[in-house]
């Protein structure tokens, strides 16, 4: 059984002034199943007050928790979620690396469920699925659900995996694995989701798990950023990263 001691939590941020401070607080309070937390916040060129709130949160929590390791990365230009995650992955040192969106659509209270396959079953990758869960799930856009179903089905056909939710924001990786993959990541925006799925599917004998999670999705008026154009682009990215890269 593999031994794990440090959990790196990578938080990509872009114009999340209303959520980022609360998100960091929730991550700090979350049960990490006995693992020491390393928090990596990547501000992706925010144009609101997110950058200032990231800096103030870091000062506040490092003063309160002197042993807590908080790494901040401030990009001068907005590049996209995929680019922000790549920067965070390369800075991580944890035995396990977890992606945490700053908008709190995903609840840090689900960390024990996400970590359990690593701690009990030597998992290499864990996806948190919104569609196999009995946890609270906010009801929102029907066509987003259909789009996700189409993308997941197409991805599964090409990867031969049986995932239920490739677009989930909760993806967790063995640290050395994601740091090995990270330099090759190309997608700078939301194409990270199909790209990383294609790349892990090509590695033989990985132990990939899914666990059910809760989901508190946002409306566009509340700040949701992904749109139908990203969905269309994801179709090409699924094909590209499975066949041409």
Asked if the model's pLDDT at residue 172 lies above 90, the reply is yes
Instruction: Please name the residue that has the structure tokens 């049986």.
Output: 162
| pLDDT score of 87 | 97
Q: Has residue 9 got a pLDDT over 70?
A: yes
* pLDDT for res 133: 76
Question: Is residue 209 predicted with pLDDT exceeding 90?
Answer: yes
User: Of 141, 239, 238, nearest to 191 (Cα)?
Assistant: 238
Would you list the domain boundaries of the chain?
Answer: 6-243
pLDDT of 2 reads 72
* 18 pLDDT higher than 80: yes
Mean pLDDT for the stretch of residues 90-114: 96
CA atoms within 13 A on the CB side of 241: 25
pTM of the prediction? 0.92
pLDDT class of 83 with cuts at 50, 70, 90: very high
What superfamily would CATH give domain 6-243? Spore Coat Polysaccharide Biosynthesis Protein SpsA; Chain A (3.90.550.10)
Write out pLDDT tens, residues 136-153: 777 766 877 788 889 999
Would you list the DSSP string of 1-33? -----EEEEEEEESS-TTTHHHHHHHHHHS--T
Backbone angles phi, psi at 120, to 5 degrees: -110, -20
Q: What is the mean pLDDT of residues 31-53?
A: 96
Going by the DSSP 8-state scheme, the letter that residue 137 receives in this structure is: B
pLDDT for 67 equals 82
Question: Each residue of 94-119: b (16+ CB within 10 Å) or e?
Answer: bbbbbbbbbbbbbbbebbebbbebbb
Residue 222: per-residue pLDDT: 60
pLDDT of residue 147: 81
Per-residue pLDDT, averaged over 96-110, amounts to 95
How large a percentage of the chain has pLDDT more than 70?
Answer: 93
pLDDT at 10 over 70: yes
Pairing of strands 36-44, 69-75: parallel
Tell me the DSSP string of 194-243.
HHHHHHHHTSTT--EEEEE--B----GGGT----HHHHHHHHHHHHHHHH
Cα separation, 27 vs 94, whole angstroms:
15
Q: Is 20 exposed, middle or buried, given 0-12, 13-18 or 19+ CB atoms closer than 10 A?
A: buried
Residue 125 has a pLDDT of: 98
Q: Are strands 125-129 and 171-174 parallel, antiparallel or unpaired?
A: antiparallel
Residue with tokens 């941020």: 13
pLDDT tens digit sequence for 186-205? 998 878 999 999 999 999 99
Per-residue confidence (pLDDT) for residue 220, from 0 to 100: 60
DSSP per-residue letters across 84-119: HHHHHHHH---SEEEE--TT-SS-GGGHHHHHHHHH
Residues 70-76: what's their mean pLDDT?
A: 96
Give residue 202's pLDDT: 96
pLDDT at 204: 94
- Which residue from 62, 121, 71, 113 is spatially nearest to 94, judged by alpha carbons? 71
């Amino acid at each position: 059984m593999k031994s794990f001691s440090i959990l790196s939590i990578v938080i990509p941020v872009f114009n999340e002034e209303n959520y980022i401070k609360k998100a960091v607080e929730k991550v700090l309070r979350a049960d990490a199943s006995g693992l020491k937390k390393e928090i990596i916040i990547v501000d992706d060129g925010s144009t609101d007050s997110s950058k200032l709130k990231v800096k103030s949160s870091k000062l506040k929590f490092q003063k309160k928790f002197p042993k807590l390791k908080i790494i901040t990365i401030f990009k001068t230009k907005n590049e996209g979620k995929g680019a922000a995650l790549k920067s965070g992955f390369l800075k991580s040192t944890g035995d396990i690396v977890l992606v945490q969106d700053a908008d709190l659509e995903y609840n840090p209270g689900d960390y024990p469920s996400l970590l359990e396959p690593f701690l009990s079953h030597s998992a290499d990758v864990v996806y948190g699925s919104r569609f196999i869960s009995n946890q609270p799930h906010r009801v929102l856009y029907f066509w987003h659900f259909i789009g996700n179903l189409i993308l997941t089905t197409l991805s599964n056909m090409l990867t031969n995996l049986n995932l239920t939710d490739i677009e989930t924001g909760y993806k967790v990786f063995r640290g050395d694995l994601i740091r090995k993959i990270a330099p090759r990541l190309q997608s700078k925006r939301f194409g990270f989701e199909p790209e990383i799925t294609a790349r892990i599917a090509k590695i033989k004998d990985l132990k990939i798990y899914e666990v059910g999670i809760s989901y508190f999705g946002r409306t566009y008026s509340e700040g949701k950023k992904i749109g139908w154009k990203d969905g269309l682009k994801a179709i090409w990215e699924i094909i590209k990263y499975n066949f041409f890269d």
